[in-house]
Amino acid sequence: MISGISGSPTTPLQGSGAGVARASTPPPPPPPPAANVPSPAISQQAAFTAQVAAQPTVRPEQVERAKQLLSSPNYPPRAIVEAVSKLIADSQHE
C-alpha cells in the first residue's frame, strides 16, 4: 500500500462511490497533419513573421521625426496637454 493514502487493499478509498470521477488514462494526442501540408493560416503567419523579421530594429526616419518634435516648444500642442490634464483630474474624482 502507498504511504499517505487511506483505505486498504480490500476496502475502497473514501469517496470512491458512484458519481465520483476516477482517474483514467489521458486521451491520445491528435493525429499529425496530413503529409506536412501547411494550412493557409500557418503560411500567412510564416509570411508575417518573415516580414517583421526583415524590418530594421530602428527606423532612422522616425528617430529624426521624434528629434524634430521634441525640439519644438509647441510639442505636444497645448490643447493635448490640457485634454490629458483634464482626463487625469476627472479620474481622480471617481
pLDDT of amino acid 20: 53
Number of domains making up the chain: 1
The upper half-sphere exposure of residue 77, i.e. CA atoms within 13 Å in the direction of its Cβ, equals: 3
pLDDT in tens, 49-60: 999 899 888 889
Q: Let me know if residue 27 belongs to a domain.
A: no
Q: Let me know if residue 48 belongs to a domain.
A: no
Q: Let me know if residue 64 belongs to a domain.
A: yes
Q: What is the DSSP letter of 36?
A: G
Q: How far apart are CA 3 and CA 5, in angstroms?
A: 6
β-bridge partners, 8: 11
pLDDT in tens, 41-87: 888 898 999 998 998 888 899 999 999 999 999 999 999 999 999 99
Q: How far apart are CA 88 and CA 11, in angstroms?
A: 67
Domain of 72, in residue numbers:
57-94
Q: How far apart are CA 16 and CA 19, in angstroms?
A: 8
Q: Let me know if residue 33 belongs to a domain.
A: no
